[in-house]
Amino acid sequence: MIIIDGKAIAIQIKKEIVGEVNRIVAEGGKRPHLAAILVGHDGGSETYVAGKVKTCEEVGFKSSLIRCENNITETELLNHVIELNNNPDIDGFIVQLPLPKHISEQKIIEAIDYQKDVDGFHPVNVGRMSIGLPCFVSATPAGILELLKRYNIETSGKHCVILGRSNIVGKPISTLLMQKAYPGDCTVTVCHSRTKDIKNYCLNADIIIAAIGVPEFLRGNMVREGAIVIDVGTTRIPSSETRSGFQLKGDVAFEEVAPKCSFITPVPGGVGPMTIISLMKNTLLAAKKTIY
C-alpha cells in the first residue's frame, strides 16, 4: 500500500512554478497576479483564501484580496467582478464560494471573464472541458489528475467510481476521467445520494474518488483488494487537540480502507495541498496566455 503524498508533490510543483516565475521576471515580464474576492467571515473560506494568498507569496505571484461584508448587494459584487475583468494587471481571479443566500452564485460566476476564470467554474470553461478543448480546469479535479500522473497510476480501461455529483468535484472529475487521455480512458460510474446499493458499485471499482462530504463514509467492507482510493473530503470537526480548534475529516475510514488499497490519499496531506497549487498553475497559464 502506498500513501500518496500530496504535500510533497505540491512542494515539488511549487518549485517548478517558482522557476517559471523567475524566468518570466528575468526576461522582463511581469509577475503573475491573482485576485480573490472574499464575502463575509466564514471560517472555512477565510482559511482557504488565506492559504491562497500565502501560496501566491511563496511562488512569487502578486495577489490582491478584496474583502466584502456579508450584506453586500449582488450589484455591488458584480461591480467588483467587472472591475477585475477590466483590470489589465490582474491575470486571473476567484470569487470564494459559498456566497450569502441573497446573491446568485451562478450570476456571479457567469459575470467573470472566462479568460480570467482560474477556478474553471464559468460555463465556457466547463463546456470546453467536457469536449476536451484547452480550458481552465477547476483546481480539485486538476489536483487529482496531477496526483494520478505523478504516481504513474494506470487509468486506461479501469472502472472508476465517483461518490458525489457536485459541480466543483464530482461532475468535472467524471468528465475528465472518461476523456480519451492520460489520466483518463476510464469507465466511470457516478454515485450520489439517490444511488441504490452504493457498496456494490464500490466493490466493483478499481478507483474510488470520494467527494460527498460525509466523514468516513467509505468503509473497509466497501473496497476491494488493490483498489486506488482518492479522498476529497474535508469536513471540519471541532477539536480541542488542534491549534485551529478544528480537525479535518475525510470521506474515507482511512484505518479500515488503507490496508486493502494499492494507493490511497490521506486527509490531511492528500488532495488538499494539490488544490491550491492547481490554482497557482492556472494563474500561471492565465499570465502566460497559454489557453486564451
Nearer to ligand GUN, 118 or 227 (CB): 118
For every residue of 246-287, DSSP letters joined together read EEEE-SB-HHHHGGGEEEE--SSSSHHHHHHHHHHHHHHHHH
Question: Is 247 noted as a catalytic residue in this protein?
Answer: no
Question: Is 96 noted as a catalytic residue in this protein?
Answer: yes
Q: How far is the CB of 269 from ligand GUN (least distance, A)?
A: 18
Q: In the sheet where 92-95 sits, what is the strand order? A: 62-68, 33-39, 92-95
Nearer to ligand GUN, 139 or 277 (CB): 139
Q: Single out the catalytic residue among 5, 119, 206, 251.
A: 119
Q: Which residue is nearest to ligand GUN (CB)?
A: 97
Q: How far is the CB of 236 from ligand GUN (least distance, A)?
A: 12
Nearer to ligand GUN, 117 or 206 (CB): 117
Nearer to ligand GUN, 202 or 273 (CB): 273
C-beta pairs of 10-17 under 8 Å, 24+ apart in sequence:
10/273, 10/274, 10/276, 10/277, 12/150, 13/146, 13/277, 13/280, 13/281, 14/55, 14/58, 14/59, 14/277, 14/280, 17/59, 17/60, 17/277, 17/280, 17/281, 17/284
Hunting for cell 472541458 — which residue is that? 129
Q: How many residues bind ligand GUN (CB under 6 A)?
A: 7
Q: How far is the CB of 37 from ligand GUN (least distance, A)?
A: 9
Q: Single out the catalytic residue among 91, 96, 158, 249.
A: 96
Q: Single out the catalytic residue among 5, 14, 52, 251.
A: 52
Q: Which x/- pattern, by CB under 6 A, does the window 75-94 give for ligand GUN? A: -------------------x
Q: How far is the CB of 107 from ligand GUN (least distance, A)?
A: 15
Instruction: Return the sign of the alpha-carbon dihedral for residues 100, 104, 106, 111.
Output: negative
The footprint of ligand GUN on residues 106-165 (CB under 6 A) is: 119, 139
Nearer to ligand GUN, 138 or 189 (CB): 138
Question: Contact at 8 Å (CB) between 149 and 182?
Answer: yes
Q: How far is the CB of 139 from ligand GUN (least distance, A)?
A: 5
**97 lines the binding site for ligand GUN (CB under 6 A):** yes
Measured distance CA(126)–CA(158) in Å, rounded: 24
Question: Is 89 noted as a catalytic residue in this protein?
Answer: no
Q: How far is the CB of 35 from ligand GUN (least distance, A)?
A: 12
Residues taking part in catalysis: 52, 96, 119
Interface residue list for ligand GUN (CB under 6 A): 94-97, 119, 139, 168
